[in-house]
Structure 1
Amino acid sequence: MAPVFRFAPSPNGYLHLGHAYSALLNFDLAREVGGRLLLRIEDIDATRCRPEFEAAIYEDLAWLGIAWEMPVRRQSQHFTDYRAATERLAALGLLYPSFESRAEIARTIAAEEAKGSWPRDPDGAPLYPGIARSLSPQAVAELKQADAPMALRLDMARAIAASGPLTWTEQGTGPGGETGTVAAQPGAWGDVILARKETPTSYHLSVVIDDALQGVTHVVRGQDLFWSTSVHRLLQQLLGLPQPVYRHHLLVRDGTGAKLSKSTGSTSLRELRAGGTTPADIRRMVGLSDPAAAS
C-alpha cells in the first residue's frame, strides 16, 4: 500500500511561507516514496473560515506546482463522523460537560494564581481548573434544560488510566530535539475540549478522525504541533484507530525569530506572487531544493 500524506490548512486567512514549506515538503516526500498526497480543508470554525480563503488555497498550491488527489475533504461536511466519535467516548465514561464561560474560567484561575502558581499546557495556556467535575447530575440536567453554552471535555485522568502509557514514532524532531520513539504526555494538556454545543468537534478530535478515515500513514507538520501529538495518540488509542508516523519540521520564522502567522499579518503567498516572486524563489526562501533543477 502506498504511503499517504496530507496537507491540511484552515481557510481563515491567506497562506504564507510557513504553509508553503509544509505543503511542499509533504508533496516532495510523497513523490519520493511513490505515495499519495491529500488536501484537507479544516474549516470547522465557521466564524473565521471564508470561501475566498479556501479558493486562494487551491490557487496558491497550484501555483507552487503541487498536485493533490480529489476529492478534497472539507471538515464542515463531516460533523456526523466527529459526533459519532464523541458518542463512543461518552459511552466509555470519558467525557463530561462544562458550562463556564471563558471569563468565568479566567477568574477562577486568577484566584488560584493569587495563591501561587497554576499549571499551564505546552502552548502556555493555563489548564482548565475542573470546575464542572463537581457538578451534580441534577445541576447538569438543569443547565442543559436552560440551553446553556456547553463544551464536552475529556476526563484526562480517566482517559490515561484507560489507555496506559503511549508512544509515537517521530521521524523529525521536537522542539527539544526529541526523535525516534517519543513518550506521549497527554496529561500536560489537562481536560481538553473535544466538542462544543455549536460545533460538534475540535481540532484534536477532527484531525484524528480524518487521518484515520483518509488512511493517512505519514503526518508531516510544524513543530508547534509536536506536543499536540500526545493528545492525538491518546484519542487514537481510545477509539481504536491506526497510528500514523509523524514528522515535525522546523518552523519558518520572521526576522525577529517569531513564527509566521496569519493573525499577525505575515506576508502572504499571493502578495509575494504579485511582487514577482516565482515558485522556484519560494522553494529557495524556505530552504527546499528545486526538483526540476535537480533533474
Structure 2
Amino acid sequence: MITRFAPSPTGPLHLGHAYSAILAHDMARAAGGQFLLRIDDLDQSRARPEWEELIYEDLRWLGLSWDGLRRQSDHFDSYRDAIQTLADTGAVYPCRCSRADITAAASAPQEGVPEFGPDGRIYPGTCRDRAYSERTDTDALRYDLSKAIGTPSQMPTFTETGPAHEGTHKVTAEYLMSHVGDPILARPNLAASYHLSVVIDDAESHVTNVTRGKDLYEATYLQRFLQWKLSLTPPIYHHHRLIRDDAGKRLAKRDDARAIRTYRAEGASPQDIRHMVGL
C-alpha cells in the first residue's frame, strides 16, 4: 500500500488537514505500506516557502513521518508530456474564454442539468471548433470529451472504499458530458490543471491508495477518465468525512483559529488533535 497526503503551501494546515494526513498515515503504517508527502505547488503565484516549511513542522509535531517527498514544481515536463499525448489524439483545443464569458454563455442552463461540476462551471463548448495548432500563450487548453470518449461501452471503472460510496463505480459518457463538460488541462500561467497534475503525480509516485476528503469524490470520475486515456494504472480511492466548524461549514485555510499552529501555540498535544478530529 502506498498512499499520500498532498497539501498546498498557500496557508496554514488546519484540523481538516490533520485528519486527512493522520488517517492516511495510520492506514499506511497499519498495512506495512508507505506514506508519501506531496507539495502541491502547481500555482507558483500563490505558493510560499514559509507555508511549505510550516507543513513540515506541523506534520512532524503530529508525529507523522513520510517515506518520500514530491514537489509538483519539479515535474512540469511530465504534465506537458501528458497534455501532448492527449493532444496527439486530436481531442485538445485552445480556449480563450474568460470566466465572465463562460458565465454569460451558460446564463440559461438547461433545466435539470447542473451548472457546476468538479472543474467549476460546466463549459458550454464555445471554443470547441478551434484547432490545437491555433493555440497561443494566452489560451487555456481544454479536453474535448465528446471526441475523447469514443465507444461509451468501453468506459473505465474505479474502486471506492470510503463509507459513503463503497463499491465499484463506472465512469459513463452521460455523466462526463452532463456533470463535467470539457475540462481544462492547462491554464495560460500554469503547466497543468489540478485534475491532470494529480493523475500524473499519483502514477509517477506509484500510489496505490488515494486517501482524501469526500468533497473530491465527484472529481474521481474525471480523474479516472484521464488515467484511462493516458493508460495509467488506477489507484483505489478512499474518500473520508470532512471536518467542519460549529456552523457546519468545511474548514478553510483562512480559518486561522483552527490552524494546527494555533493549537500548538496554545499548548495542545498531538493526542489532543487526534481527539478533536475523532481519531
Are 1:126 and 2:140 counterparts? Answer: no
Are 1:182 and 2:169 counterparts? Answer: yes
Are 1:260 and 2:258 counterparts? Answer: no
Partner-residue secondary structure (3-state), 2:149: helix
1:165 to 155, 159, 181: 155
1:136-181 per-position Cα deviation (integer Å, ceiling 9, x unaligned):
x59x73x73xx5x2111111122222673222111113xxx32111
Q: How does 1:180-219 map to 2 (within 5 A)?
A: 180-184=167-171, 185-187=175-177, 188-219=179-210
Gap regions ≥5 residues in structure 1: 289-295
Query: Cα distance 1:49–1:32, how it changes in 2: closer, same or farther (>3 A)?
Result: same
Superposition deviation, residue 77 in structure 1: 1.1
1:57 to 48, 55, 58: 55
Are 1:29 and 2:27 counterparts? Answer: yes
Superposition deviation, residue 264 in structure 1: 4.9
Task: Give me the identity figure in percent.
Answer: 47
**Radius of gyration: which is bigger?**
1
Q: How does 1:84-163 map to 2 (within 5 A)?
A: 84-110=81-107, 112-113=108-109, 119-122=114-117, 125-135=120-130, 137=131, 141=134, 144=136, 147=137, 149-161=138-150
Task: Please report the TM-score for the alignment, with normalisation by the length of structure 2.
Answer: 0.92
1:226-245 per-position Cα deviation (integer Å, ceiling 9, x unaligned):
01010111011000001110
Alignment partners' CA distance in 2, 1:264 and 1:190 = 32
Gap regions ≥5 residues in structure 2: none
* Equivalent AA in structure 1 for residue 268 of structure 2: T
Partner-residue secondary structure (3-state), 1:67: coil
* Contact 2:12 2:256 (C-alpha < 8 Å) held by counterparts: no
Partner-residue secondary structure (3-state), 2:35: strand
1:104-141 per-position Cα deviation (integer Å, ceiling 9, x unaligned):
2222222x35x977632345943111100134x59x73
* Contact 1:88 1:239 (C-alpha < 8 Å) held by counterparts: yes
Alignment partners' CA distance in 1, 2:200 and 2:42 = 13
Alignment partners' CA distance in 1, 2:78 and 2:118 = 28
* Contact 2:212 2:239 (C-alpha < 8 Å) held by counterparts: yes
Match of residue 283 from structure 1: 274
Query: Cα distance 1:40–1:125, how it changes in 2: closer, same or farther (>3 A)?
Result: closer
Greater CA drift, 245-254 or 96-105: 96-105
Partner-residue secondary structure (3-state), 1:211: helix
Partner-residue secondary structure (3-state), 1:34: coil
1:187-216 per-position Cα deviation (integer Å, ceiling 9, x unaligned):
321111011232120110110001111100
Query: Cα distance 1:150–1:37, how it changes in 2: closer, same or farther (>3 A)?
Result: same
1:78 to 58, 75, 80: 75
Alignment partners' CA distance in 1, 2:40 and 2:34 = 19
Greater CA drift, 241-250 or 191-200: 191-200
Superposition deviation, residue 15 in structure 1: 0.2
Alignment partners' CA distance in 2, 1:117 and 1:55 = 46
Greater CA drift, 213-222 or 118-127: 118-127
Alignment partners' CA distance in 2, 1:232 and 1:281 = 35
Instruction: Give the number of the structure whose residues are more often helix, by fraction.
Output: 1
Superposition deviation, residue 253 in structure 1: 0.7
1:67 to 60, 65, 68: 65
* Equivalent AA in structure 2 for residue 80 of structure 1: D
Match of residue 39 from structure 1: 37
Greater CA drift, 275-284 or 155-164: 155-164
Q: How many residues align?
A: 274
* Equivalent AA in structure 2 for residue 5 of structure 1: T
* Contact 1:109 1:118 (C-alpha < 8 Å) held by counterparts: no
